Structures are given as structure tokens and as C-alpha cells.
Structure 1
Amino acid sequence: MTKKHILDTNYRPRLCVFRSNKHIYAQIIDNTNNKTIISSSTIAINIKKNITSSNNCSAARIVGQDIAKKSKEIGIKEVVFDRQNRIYHGRIKALAEAAREEGIKF
């Protein structure tokens, strides 16, 4: 999807993923109000104590599972996946697959 298609989907929130060299961040954003609803990352205290390294696929899977569990708790079941022009590979793919396994549809 292009950036215009992602931002035009006002009926579904957007799962935005940012990957740096050391960490991975995921947030669910409401496009109509431009507000972050939920966020999760490898620097969060509850995730940091469960991982040994923050820049691998297993850490990304844990972040994906965490963001999916938080979103299901507040009733979000469908999102638009925004990978910010990153290739669907490696840590981005691991996070997305973990979120799908927890029941989030995109």
C-alpha cells in the first residue's frame, strides 16, 4: 500500500512499525484524531526484562505479541499495517507474523 492509501483508511487504526539499528517500536495510531492509542517497544520495561538482545527477530516477535494483546484488550481486531517503506523481511516480518498469530487482522 502506498502512503496515501494507508493514511486514507480512517475506519481502521494503523499499526505503525519503526525499526532502528538497536530497537523496534510498534504503535497503533488513530488516523482521525492523530493520536497514539497503544505502543510497545523493546525499550519498554516489561519487554526489556524478557529479552537478551533488542535487535533480533525474537525480540520483534515479543513486541508483536505484546501490541496484539494490548489491542485485543481494548477491542481493536483489524488494523492497517504501516511498515514505513521498509522491506517486509527480518524483524518487520517477525513482528507482523506474531501480531497475526495473536489474532490481529491486516
Structure 2
Amino acid sequence: MRISRRFTTANADPYAGIPFSKRTSRIVNPDGSVVFEARDIDMPSNFSQVATDIMAQKYFRKAGVPTATVAVDEPGVPEWLQRRVPAEGATMAGETDARQTF
């Protein structure tokens, strides 16, 4: 089976045509107490504040994401599909960029 490329170009960043901007997501109760807050997260510029809040609260991992990874070479597995493990010395943090979840 052959699958032809339709929406991207080989060796090009798929996010190149999408502008991103830093945002803050803050969800508060009616009494003013903060339920959730995430600062300096990168979201597509055309996302509404509601879309930003939903993405940050529901889909970003809050912890356990390594800051750097390395591929594990496995016979018969193409490079783009190889599993990745935390790099030596990598710290764990949360996701701060929508590109990490798409």
C-alpha cells in the first residue's frame, strides 16, 4: 500500500505556516479563587482564549515530560517511529507548547 503526501512537504516543518504566540491560561471560580493557571504557554495565534484554556487544562501533561530525549535503535523500526527515552541529565517538567500535544 502506498500513501501519498497531501498536506505537508518533505523535510519541512509542518508548523512553519502556523503563527504561535505566548499565552496565559487562567481559570477562576465565581468567587475569584484560581482553579488552574499556566503561564507562558505557546499556542496557535488564532486560538481563542477558551480554546487555550481547554487545551492547557485538559491536554497538557503537568509533569513527567523529559526536557530532552534520545531515540532507541531497534532493528526493523524506522527512525521516525523509534521509541524515545529521557536523555542523560534531562529534567522532568510539564508541557508548555501546543506542538508537544498535536
The structure in which a higher percent of residues are helix is: 1
- TM-score interval for Structure 1 and Structure 2 normalised by the shorter chain: under 0.3
> What TM-score do the two structures reach when normalised by structure 2?
0.25
The structure in which a higher percent of residues are strand is: 2
Give the greater-gyration-radius structure (CA). Answer: 2
Structure with more contact order per residue of length (Cα contacts < 8 Å, sep ≥ 6): 1
